[in-house]
Amino acid sequence: MKASKSLLLFFIPGLALYAVFFLYPTISAIFYSFTDWDGLSEAFQFVGTSNYERAFTGDTVFRKTIGNNLKFMLAVVVFQTVIALAFALILVKNTKTTVFLRALYFFPTILSSVSVAFIWSFIYDPSLGILNQLLGLAGLDFLQQNWLGNANIAIFSLAATQVWFHAGQMLIIFVAGLQAIPKELYEVAEIEGASKWQTFRKVTWPLLAPSATIVIAYTTIQSFKAFDLVFAMTGGGPNRSTEIIATYIFDVAFSNYQFGYASAISVIFMALIALITFIQFKALRSDRISY
């Protein structure tokens, strides 16, 4: 009995950190979302659900940020997952070369978001950027763009940067999942005469589904929280074409001092992430069961 009570003490530091840095801010955001607090004064008034009504019916910029975020998320999730899985299948064996390449591809993940933003801002520079110069050398001048200044493609340019930034991290998760699959199953598939695609579809993918669930859920959350990358590269421009929910919350709270409304957007933001990750989890789980 005493031992069990002693073990419970080990949970106290974690619970304290969780309460201070997650639970309390979450409850505070929900509370202030029903007020008109400006973030500076002590006085505020309760405004009911008017902040939420404004977000869904009166704020066209907020609705635009949701669209931008969904475009960004879909591009990042699809390409980052496919690229990470493809490289993981190639680098699954533990040799000196594959271990070195895994470390090389993982390296961008340890960089700060601001550093990555400056690197890719230079790459995308329309005059001096290496991307346009390489296109010119390859005779593809017609593809040269103002990658961050063109409102039609800027959000996808940011998505490409995000993929480069975190694909190596997802690669490691996929490699761990692939190495956990028993080799005997591949031997049986080979004996049965299964093609590589059939082996992947019937053996690899079903057993890799737990890793894929982690990768897709984590990538989704990353794409919604890419505030620092977007803010440092475009600041939400041009013409709010790269404004995502996180940067818009910052703008509403710290530029317009509408902390009550910013809190309401934050609560909607949190609910949106939870809904999307739940749908992804259910879809991947049912896909795994169907096999």
281 falls in which pLDDT band (50, 70, 90)? confident
pLDDT for res 287: 53
Give the separation between CA 60 and CA 280, rounded to whole angstroms. 27
Are the C-beta atoms of 35 and 260 separated by less than 8 Å? yes
pTM of the model: 0.89
Q: Alpha helix (H) ranges present in 39-110?
A: 50-53, 60-90, 96-106
Task: Give residue 207's identity as a one-letter amino acid code.
Answer: L
Are the C-beta atoms of 77 and 216 separated by less than 8 Å? yes
Three-state secondary-structure class, residue 216: helix
pLDDT for res 219: 93
pLDDT for res 228: 93
- Structural tokens at position 210: 């737990």
Asked whether the predicted pLDDT for residue 57 surpasses 50, the reply is yes
Give the separation between CA 274 and CA 250, rounded to whole angstroms. 20
Average pLDDT over residues 273-286: 81
Residues 26-42 pLDDT 10s: 999 999 999 999 988 88
pLDDT for res 146: 94
Residues 10-31 pLDDT 10s: 788 888 898 988 899 999 999 9
Residues 86-114 pLDDT 10s: 999 999 999 999 999 999 999 999 999 99
pLDDT for res 109: 93
What is the overall mean pLDDT for the chain?
91
**Which range, of 117-126, 144-153, 187-196, averages the lowest pLDDT?**
187-196
Give the separation between CA 96 and CA 92, rounded to whole angstroms. 12
Q: Name the architecture of domain 60-290.
A: Orthogonal Bundle (1.10)
33 backbone dihedrals φ, ψ, rounded to 5°: -65, -15
Give the separation between CA 54 and CA 248, rounded to whole angstroms. 14
Give the separation between CA 201 and CA 147, rounded to whole angstroms. 37
ω before 25 within 30° of 0 (cis)?
Answer: no
Average pLDDT over residues 198-217: 90
Contacts 24+ apart (CB under 8 A), 278-284: 280/213, 280/216, 280/217, 280/220, 281/213, 281/217, 284/209, 284/212, 284/213, 284/216
Instruction: Show me where the domains of the chain are located.
Output: 60-290
Residues 130-139 pLDDT 10s: 999 999 999 9
